[in-house]
A and B are shown apart, each in its own frame.
Chain A
Amino acid sequence: MPETVTREAIQARVNEALEEFGAEPSDITPDATFEALDVDSLDLVELGQIVQEEYGVELKGEDMPKLKTVGDAVDLIAERAGV
């Protein structure tokens, strides 16, 4: 994990991934639900692979149902990354 990882960097990477998955950039806010963004379980698995590669953080299958909003995901990734 790079020393310089910040919560802002994680937020930006998550937003970028969500845009790749087809979410409207203007709709992506911390309170936005994945359901509203039309981000599905398969997208979340892909997000998990991205953060594992970039931050060495593992999102497990059992974490996925708990992640309802963009903020939930950023919080969990930041917590696991020790930010």
Chain B
Amino acid sequence: MRDGCALVTGGSRGIGAATARALSEAGWPVAVGYRSDADAAQAVVDELGQGVAVQGDVSDPEAADAIFKTAEKKLGGPVLVLVNNAGITSDNLAIGLTDEDWDRVVSTNLSGAFRLTRRALRPMLKARFGRIVNVSSIVGLKANPGQANYAAAKAGLVGMTKTIAAEVARRGVTVNAVAPGFIDTELTAGLDQSDGLVDHIPARRTGTPEEVAACVRFLASEDASYVTGTTLTVDGGLSA
């Protein structure tokens, strides 16, 4: 095992919590990033072999360095696996989307991921090893009325993933994305599943956070060393 740790933002619930568990099973000490729910983050940490809960709001430009320093200090090594999972929604049809709705979603889901990635790169380049996985969304690849802000941020992650992957590939650092479809989380709990939503999914069911986490775990593994700049859709065939 390499001498370092993993950091999962938005790790207190949903896909982030499942990813923290999966990376812990893979042998990584895991820093579980959270913004507001300290109890939930600690509950995830309590299930891990080695871990720590780290508070921070990734939309704050100062947060990245503070989050990394805490993770590095508490887990005793550089962050060699970064999973940019923290994400929020603030839905409305574009005609009614406010500047605040736009900025909040883009600054957390896209700018936050960029700043954490930038902070992560130097130690990874030095180690000649790193794994960055950005949690995008099927909405970044396929229309979903009411989520122009979320779609822009999630599509932005796909473009950022490709370019940064190309910049750092020669140092053993890979950058990939996953694009989940409809996954059972609090973020999608508000969606009405009775209106035939599931009928449009070839798998005829929604996905689980664990099914996404398994893909992140693969992309973060040594086995995925020649996979970089790609976006793995995890959507039960919805976009096929």
Contacts and interface: CB of A to CB of B under 8 A. Distances in A.
10 contacts: A40-B170, A42-B125, A42-B167, A42-B168, A42-B170, A42-B171, A46-B122, A46-B125, A46-B126, A49-B122
Interface residues on B, range: under 10
Interface of A: 40, 42, 46, 49
B91 to A, nearest CB: 37
A49 B171 CA distance: 17
A9 B218 CA distance: 45
Chain B binding site: helix, strand, loop or mixed by DSSP?
A: helix
A49 B122 CA distance: 9
A50 to B, nearest CB: 10
Contacts of B170: 40, 42
Given A42-B171, A46-B125, 7 more contacts: A40-B170, A42-B125, A42-B167, A42-B168, A42-B170, A46-B126, A49-B122
A40 B171 CA distance: 11
Contacts of B167: 42
A49 B119 CA distance: 12
Pick the most buried of A40, A42, A46, A49: most chain B CB atoms within 10 A of its CB.
A42
Contacts of B168: 42
A49 B118 CA distance: 12
A25 B126 CA distance: 19
Nearest to A40: B170
A46 B173 CA distance: 15
A49 B168 CA distance: 16
A43 to B, nearest CB: 9
